[in-house]
């Protein structure tokens, strides 16, 4: 699929319908923008599917490992925000979903839905950001696809990423494994991502120095599993819906209750201020570089220590406990000492946050 002369004008060009035709323009776009940037032996194969040797150093023998697969569509608006963009978000989000099963993320695929009129330069920025994020996370983008829709039938760039990894057979981490008495840890401050994206919306622009926490958590998880391989029962990245929805999901999956201590939940003062101003609850705001760990109480000290020693876990905090509760309620002891329900989110707080 090599064509020598390319007509792609990276500086001034825009995506048009021919870039989705499957013909010469599509090939040029793929060569110039994607293959060049994501370059690796797998994506270079040039077929519609990518073949991977399982006995390479990244593919352990099957009798010791299980395959893990996850997928996400990304429609964040705007495409760029403080601390990240749709490209790094797409990579980190999918890497994190794999990591939350205790897996080692290895391969990503990326499919793009581009809106006619998108500046090529914008696409290139996003693709480069994806390449950097994958390199940081230690994963390869091995296959991709690009489609183009007419102006007004899309919104710049949508990216769907799928991740494949392997998990050791002895690791058993799931939302179904929270046990009564378990401790609940959050790896850092909540709400940063949602508020950072919000700050870029035209209708809501406000001055803030808040950056998205978008990051790949697989190296943090590796450290945690090294120190307490059997002590971590559940991992979950509280993205869309935030900490509140993630804990409700886990409570249902494991048929338990949760009691949180509001005073222990780390929130940046700037995030608190924006939330108060706009009537938002940080508990339901999306995070893209944080994890919830539900773990054996005997391992909490050790886990907090390794987390706080990792750049992505400096503000790790013990925020609550798992309780017996046939209603699977998530409750919170407020800073004033009262009790409040942290209900499943009923309405839309922030659309298109990831």
146 closest CA partner among 29, 24, 3: 29
Binding of a copy of itself at residue 277 (CB under 8 A)? no
Q: Which of 9, 41, 71, 229 binds a copy of itself (CB under 8 A)?
A: 71
| Residue 239 vs 317, nearer CB to a copy of itself | 239
Q: Which of 164, 185, 210, 294 binds a copy of itself (CB under 8 A)?
A: 164
* CA terminus-to-terminus distance, the chain: 33
Q: Which of residues 245-274 bind a copy of itself (CB under 8 A)?
A: 245, 249, 252-253
Q: Which of residues 89-108 bind a copy of itself (CB under 8 A)?
A: 97-98, 100-101, 103, 107
Helix axes 300-308, 218-227, angle to 10 degrees: 140
Please say whether the beta carbons of 70 and 41 come within 8 A: no
Site string for a copy of itself, 287-326 (x = CB under 8 A): ----------------------------------------
Q: Which of residues 190-249 bind a copy of itself (CB under 8 A)?
A: 236-237, 239-242, 245, 249
**Residue 138 φ/ψ region, left for φ over 0, alpha for ψ in the -120 to 50 degree band, beta for the rest:** left
Alpha carbon separation from 267 to 44, 212, 273 (Å, rounded): 44, 13, 10
Helix axes 120-137, 86-99, angle to 10 degrees: 30
Q: Which of 83, 84, 144, 313 binds a copy of itself (CB under 8 A)?
A: 144
Binding of a copy of itself at residue 154 (CB under 8 A)? yes
Residue 87 structure tokens: 């490209």
Q: What is the rounded CA–CA span in Å between residue 65 and residue 57?
A: 14
Binding of a copy of itself at residue 10 (CB under 8 A)? no
| Residue 103 vs 304, nearer CB to a copy of itself | 103
Binding of a copy of itself at residue 146 (CB under 8 A)? yes
Q: Which of 147, 179, 201, 340 binds a copy of itself (CB under 8 A)?
A: 147
Q: Which stretch binds a copy of itself (CB under 8 A): 122-130, 184-192, 220-228, 341-349?
A: 341-349
CB atoms within 10 A of CB 184: 25
């Amino acid at each position: 699929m090599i064509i020598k002369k390319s007509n792609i004008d990276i500086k001034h060009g825009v995506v048009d319908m021919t870039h989705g035709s499957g013909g010469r323009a599509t090939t040029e776009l793929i060569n110039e923008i994607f293959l060049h940037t994501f370059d690796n032996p797998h994506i270079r194969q040039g077929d519609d599917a990518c073949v991977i040797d399982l006995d390479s150093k990244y593919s352990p023998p099957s009798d010791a490992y299980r395959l893990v697969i996850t997928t996400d569509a990304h429609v964040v608006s705007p495409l760029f925000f403080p601390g990240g963009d749709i490209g790094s978000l797409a990579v980190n989000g999918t890497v994190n979903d794999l990591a939350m099963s205790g897996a080692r993320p290895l391969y990503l695929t990326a499919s793009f839905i581009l809106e006619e009129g998108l500046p090529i330069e914008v696409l290139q920025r996003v693709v480069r950001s994806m390449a950097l994020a994958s390199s940081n996370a230690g994963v390869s983008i091995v296959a991709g696809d690009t489609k183009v829709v007419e102006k007004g039938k899309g919104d710049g760039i949508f990216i769907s990423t799928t991740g494949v990894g392997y998990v050791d057979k002895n690791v058993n981490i799931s939302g179904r494994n929270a046990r009564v008495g378990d401790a609940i840890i959050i790896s850092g401050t909540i709400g940063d991502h949602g508020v950072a994206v919000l700050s870029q919306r035209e209708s809501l622009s406000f001055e803030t120095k808040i950056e998205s926490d978008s990051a790949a958590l697989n190296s943090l998880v590796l450290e945690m599993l090294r120190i307490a391989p059997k002590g971590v029962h559940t991992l979950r990245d509280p993205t869309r819906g935030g900490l509140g929805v993630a804990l409700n999901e886990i409570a249902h999956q494991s048929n338990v209750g949760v009691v949180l201590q509001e005073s222990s939940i780390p929130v940046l003062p700037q995030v608190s201020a924006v939330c108060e101003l706009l009537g938002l609850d940080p508990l339901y705001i999306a995070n893209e570089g944080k994890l919830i760990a539900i773990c054996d109480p005997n391992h909490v000290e050790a886990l907090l220590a390794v987390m706080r020693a990792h750049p992505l876990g400096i503000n790790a905090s013990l925020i609550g406990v798992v309780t017996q509760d046939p209603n699977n309620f998530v409750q919170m002891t407020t800073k004033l000492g009262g009790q409040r329900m942290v209900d499943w989110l009923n309405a839309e707080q922030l659309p298109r946050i990831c």
